Amino acid sequence: MRLFTAILLPEDVRTELAGLAGGLPGARWSPEENYHLTLRFIGEVDNGFAEELAEALSHVGGEDFELAIHSLGSFGGARPRAVWAGIAPSKALAALRRRVESALVRAGLPPEERKFTPHITLGRTAGARPAAVAAWLGDRGAFRLPAFAVGGFSLMSSRLGSAAPAYREEVRYPFGGEAFAP
């Protein structure tokens, strides 16, 4: 089972982000229902270890906070491979990320070595010309969304295929409540 932890986005935020899709020849846009903010990619694990990780995450806790989308950008430098919506700096998000990471490491996962860059992937751009990606970003440079509430996080599974990955929420961890399988 291929797992990751994420903050799922409210429907109105996903709808606004979906409005950005298009206008970039060669891009493969993520489906609106796939938009999320990854806290930690876990990878492929067996069912037994997945249950251990799910239990460890039930102790993360936290309090509701707000996040805002404040930028657009790309990964890949001179050859952009993805465009994303960036999250405004948030101490509450950074603290949640640290707690999730600590819980997963205590459960036996190796520490994440990559720097945490909070973002929502909008699309893959390996098939787009770099100049077109730069122009697409430039045309939308002032994109911002109002803050939205975050009331917990989720353990997600993904199945890769020829089209967009299929994501499934395995466990929801509401702040101040009991974890449950939706």
Catalytic residues: 36, 119
Sheet strands side by side (includes 69-75): 28-29, 119-124, 82-87, 69-75
> Cβ(67)–Cβ(150) under 8 Å?
yes
Residues 42 and 128: their CA atoms lie apart, in Å, by 29
Helices 47-57 and 91-106, axial angle in degrees (round to 10): 140
Q: Which residues pair with 34 in a beta bridge?
A: none
Beta strands in 9-150 (DSSP E): 28-29, 36-44, 65-67, 69-75, 82-87, 119-124, 148-150
